[in-house]
Every structure is written in structure tokens, then in C-alpha cells.
Amino acid sequence: MSDPKIEGYEFKPGFKGMAQDTGSDQTMFKGVHWGKAMMWIFLLSDTFIFSCFLISYMKGRGSTLVDWPNASQVFGLHVFGVEVPLLLIAIMTFVLITSSGTMALAVKYGYEKNRKMCGWLILATAIGGLIFVGMQAFEWSKLIHEGVRPWENPFGAKQFGSFFFMITGFHGTHVSIGVIFLFIYAYKTFKGHYDEGKRGWFTTIKGDYVEIEILGLYWHFVDLVWVFIFAFFYLW
């Protein structure tokens, strides 16, 4: 990405540039929208939340005396008479990663002021998220049907159920919030709120296509977190 044009300010490459930006007045991240900077810092904070969750999970898994259940067995799916391990989760992961791709495209079309394409891609992302949450609900109900509860687990250590429901639940909440915002943003895009700078309902801030990028950052983060949860719960 090229540097933004700022009157009276000359960008320098590399470490010198970083030092110069840090030492300059007004802004530290030159040309970065306030909301975008905010989202990055929020995501840093959110990273710590998920890190705490996953470290607690490692500690909990490491210190139980009862055996941890075998992931490929617990998360297996019985399709057409064949046991396929991790089938559902593979599809879920595929859908979520794909929705990250559509989100990235939506950001691109947004900046090109291609209102229609941008709107459709946001809608596609939202639907991808919705499918993900739906499949997660299916997985939850399957496990609950098999007797796994936050407080007990027929396959082994009871902490398995506790951590699984808590962490995937917390992640699912993130996805659901993202889906709600994606639908709102799709509506706003189709209505042209970002083209005409219409003010938000609550915040009274003028609309801008940068908001789509900010939501995109959040969405990519949620996907990234899912990769870690996937690795820790399903592959370990």
C-alpha cells in the first residue's frame, strides 16, 4: 500500500520512517482512520482474552487425572455408513475462511465505490457466518444429545465439556455479533449511506467506506481465532 499524501510531511522507508512517524506530531499512524486504529487495539485486547481462554484450557487439560476424550472420535460424523472424523468441522472451517475471502473482496469493492458488488459480498460474508453459527449449533446439539454437558462428559474428563462449550461459545458469540453487524452494513451499503456520508443511527458519525474495512478487520480476526481453536480442540 502506498503512503497517504500529507502536506509538509515526507515519508521515509523502513525503521527510520517508523521512528519519524512515532516522533512526529498529530498522529502516530499516518493517514490511519481513528476507527481503524481503534479496531486494531481492540483486537489486541481481544487476543489477550482468547489467549487466557486457551492457556486456561491447556492448564485444565494438563492437570486433570481423567483421560481427555479422543477428538477425532468425539467430533466424528457418521455419513452414508462411514465414520468420517472431523468432517463437520472441516466444512465449518472452510465456510468461515471463505467468508474471510468475500469480506476482503467487499473491502476492495467498497474503496472502488462499487456499491452493488460491495453490498452483495458483505451479504455473502454474513450468510457464510450464519452457516457457520448454524453448523456450530448443530454440533453443540449433537454433543449434548450424546450426553456431553459443561459439567459432565461421558467420553472422559469433565473439563472437556466445560472448556469446549465455553470457548466455542465465546467464539460463536463473536461470530454472531459479526453477522449482525454484517447485515446492518450490507443494508447501509445498499442504501448508499457510505456514498452520501449519512450519519449513523446512534453514533451520529458520518458514514464512510472505511467502516467496511474496520468490520473486515474484526471478521478476519474472528477467523484467525477460529484457526487456533480448531488446532487446540480438534487436532490436539
Which part of the chain contacts another protein (CB under 8 A), choosing from 17-25, 126-134, 188-196, 226-234?
Answer: 17-25
Q: Judge residue 61's burial from the number of C-beta atoms within 10 Å of its C-beta, 0-12 exposed, 13-18 middle, 19 or more buried.
A: middle
Distance from C-alpha of 157 to C-alpha of 186, rounded to nearest angstrom: 43
Q: Which of 1, 14, 15, 65 binds another protein (CB under 8 A)?
A: 65
Cell for 11? 515519508
Closest alpha carbon to 103 in 200, 230, 221: 221
Q: Does 10 bind another protein (CB under 8 A)?
A: no
Candidates 158, 191, 210, 220; binder of another protein (CB under 8 A) is 158
- Candidates 33-41, 76-84, 174-182, 207-215; binding stretch for another protein (CB under 8 A): 33-41
Closer residue to another protein in complex, CB, 106/222? 222
Exposure string for 38-50, b = 16+ CB within 10 A, e = fewer: ebeeebeebeeeb
Query: Residue 102 corresponds to which cell in the numbers above?
Result: 468475500
Taking contact as CB under 8 A, which single stretch among the options 35-43, 89-97, 118-126, 137-145 is the one that binds another protein? 35-43
Say what the alpha-carbon torsion angle 11, 17, 18, 21 is, to the nearest 10 degrees: -40
Give yes or no for residue 15 binding another protein (CB under 8 A).
Answer: no
Interface with another protein, residue 41, by CB under 8 A: yes
Is residue 218 within 8 Å of 102, Cβ to Cβ? no
Q: Which CB sits closer to another protein, 83 or 152? A: 152
Q: Which amino acid is at 203?
A: T
Query: Counting contacts by CB under 8 A, is residue 32 touching another protein?
Result: yes
Q: Which of 3, 11, 17, 42 binds another protein (CB under 8 A)?
A: 42
DSSP class of residue 198?
P
Check residue 150 and report its DSSP letter. Answer: T
Stretch that binds another protein, among 130-138, 162-170, 208-216, 225-233 (CB under 8 A): 162-170
Interface with another protein by CB under 8 A: which residues? 6-9, 22-32, 34-35, 37-38, 41-42, 44-46, 48-49, 51-53, 56, 59-60, 63-66, 150-151, 157-159, 161-163, 166, 170, 202-206
